[in-house]
Structure 1
Amino acid sequence: MDAALAQAFEATWPAAEYADAGGFRVGRGLGAGGRVSSARALTGWKDSDIPEAVRLHEQWGQPPLFRALDDDAKLIAALEAQGFRRENPTAIMEIETAALTDRDLPPVTAFAVWPPMAIQREIWSAGNIGPARQAVMERVEEPVTSILGRVADRAAGAAFVAIHQGVAMVHCVEILPGLRRKGLAGWMMRQAAFWAAENGADRIGLAVSRGNEGAVALYRRLGFREMAGYSYYARSAG
């Protein structure tokens, strides 16, 4: 994962605030999930910085959580030595924007809309992307948009897209359960690519849980390549 993709990954889904604890940068997520509520290592971190990051998490009232790239063996070993265990392995994937703008969308299938419509917020909420996660979208710097997807003359899907330094990142792709497996997610990704191209982005990235095998397969069929992987590290509730 090159620097531009790494920076877009962070900038397009920001925490409410950040604070450094030794050699770790900790996000205050305000209930918006692991991406924005985790600590990530900075250059020069030490094993003794891990408890300092834990204290900051606790001060903010959120469970201690770290995010580590799959190839960061040193950090993973240090976290495991202090009782942290791997959760939710995730892939970071990307594709050139032009690879998704090679065909026209079917009429009234997908649209770029900002701010999101009420029906999009309902679709996100139905998929556990509630107000706390939706609040993350509001603090991302422009250019940003949402994608509305339609099937059988009804709203069926929603996604969020933001651009940072020429890289568009897609977040929160959600399709209503009864309207999945109809190809809508693929058309929504193509609409995201058309919008990204219009706003100067030459590639598109996203993060997808490896456990979501259907989504991983879709992105691979579209031509996305895996560029990196990461997991969260948490202590067991017991």
Structure 2
Amino acid sequence: MTPDIAQLTAATEATWPPARIVDLPGWTLRDGAGGGQRVSAATATTSSPDIATMIAAQERLGQPPLVMIRPGEESLDSRLEMEGFRIKDPVTLYLAPVDALAIAPPPVSAFQVAWPPMRIQEELWLEGGIGPDRLAVMARAEGPKCAILGRSKDQPAGTAFVACHGDIAMLHALEVTPRLRRSGTAVNMMHGAAIWARDHGAVWLAVLVTQANAPANALYCGLGLSPLGGYHYRVK
């Protein structure tokens, strides 16, 4: 059975976890420790949470007031807009059966690297703006996880992070160095990630991508992943 949004949200949180969770009346806050929006956003736990409470708590954490708006939270979305929160980075969630993607890539084009990643992978991530704080997010993920290394033209060309939560594998932080893009590296890494996921008991492979990232959206659609909805942020 295809996982629902709640299951996919749980897999996202487990495979890309915040430094800590702060529970407040009406809210769940995440201390991202510099790891980006997904691990720093507040989410509502009631239909009409107090916005001022969230703002104050985010400021105490040293984070901007940032809220993730999920399907069905249109009322909260409107309230935040009235409070001066603007929409930021709408995200689409894509999903495919692992077996559909677990196709052997060409020889020496994608490698599974047992955690921790290689130094060259850290350098490739850093080149794409994924630094130590986001590597710390990956390190916090519990359960099976792997770093995928892509090669092209006999050079390290890309890297990605994949981790399992139950029968769902989530792929995060796929980066290909600009000088070696359009050479099939991302496709090869996706196939390599799916093979790893299948071998670790996953049935589904999911990814999250901002709607503004046209190349990534084209990649996932071209590979046959299906969009299953998504979310957006509101930031003060």
Q: Secondary structure at the match of 2:69?
A: strand
Per the alignment, residue 48 of structure 2 pairs with 46
For the residue of structure 2 that corresponds to 1:162, the secondary structure is strand
Name stretches of at least 5 consecutive residues in structure 1 with no aligned partner: none
- Counterpart residue number, 2:19: 16
User: Aligned residues: percent identity?
Assistant: 44
Contact 1:70–1:231 (8 Å) recurs in 2: no
Count the aligned residue pairs. 232
Contact kept? 1:22, 1:45, Cα under 8 Å: no
Q: State how far apart, in whole Å, the 1-side matches of 2:208 and 2:128 are.
A: 17
SS of aligned partner of 1:15: coil
What secondary structure does 2:78 align onto?
helix
TM-score by length of 1: 0.94
Q: Structure 1 residues 213, 70: CA separation in 2 closer, same or farther (over 3 Å shift)?
A: farther
- The residue that corresponds to 2:154 in the other structure is 153
1-structure distance, mates of 2:190, 2:20: 29
CA distance in 2, matches of 1:18, 1:2: 20
Counterparts of 1:225-236 in structure 2, within 5 Å, are 225-235=226-236
Is the CA contact 1:12–1:162 (under 8 Å) kept in the aligned structure 2? yes
Task: Report Cα offsets for 1:1-54 as digits up to 9, x if no partner.
Answer: 433212101111110001122211110011111000110112x2424x221111
After superposition, the C-alpha distances for 1:181-209 in whole angstroms (9 at most, x for unaligned) are 11110110010000000000000011001
Of 3, 7, 14, the match for 1:4: 7
Structure 2 residue ranges without an equivalent (≥5): none
Which whole-Å CA distance do the structure 2 matches of 1:41 and 1:63 have between them? 16
Taking the TM superposition and a 5 Å limit, the aligned residue runs for 1:187-226 are: 187-226=188-227
1:56 corresponds to which letter in structure 2? A
How far residue 104 of structure 1 moved from its aligned partner, in angstroms, is: 2.1
Residues 104 and 195, structure 2, Cα contact 8 Å, conserved in 1: no
Instruction: Please list the CA deviations of residues 130-173 of structure 1 after superposition, one character each: whole Å capped at 9, or x if unmatched.
Output: 00011001110020101000001111101000100110000000
Residue 71 of structure 1, CA deviation: 4.3
Distance 2:5 2:83 in 1: 30
- Retained in 1: the 8 A contact 2:47–2:73? no
Partner residue of 1:55? 56
Displaced runs of 4 or more, over 6 A? none
Over residues 81-107 of structure 1, what are the superposed CA-to-partner deviations in whole Å (9 max), with x where a residue is unaligned? 221110111101100001012x32110
Q: Distance in 2 between matches of 1:234 and 1:5?
A: 23
Q: Distance in 1 between matches of 2:47 and 2:127?
A: 39
- Partner letter of residue 7 of structure 1? A
SS in 2 for 1:26: strand
Distance 2:146 2:125 in 1: 15
- Cα displacement string for residues 109-131 of structure 1 (whole angstroms, at most 9, x for unaligned residues): 00110220000000000000000
- Counterpart check, 1:72 vs 2:107: no
Could you say what secondary structure the match of 2:30 adopts?
strand
Compute the RMSD of aligned alpha carbons. 1.1
Deviation at 1:78, TM superposition (A): 1.7
Q: Which amino acid aligns with 2:112?
A: A
Q: Please tell me whether the aligned partners of residues 87 and 232 of structure 2 are also in contact (alpha carbons under 8 angstroms).
A: yes
1:177 to 2:178 alignment? yes
Secondary structure in structure 1 of the residue aligned to 2:91 = strand
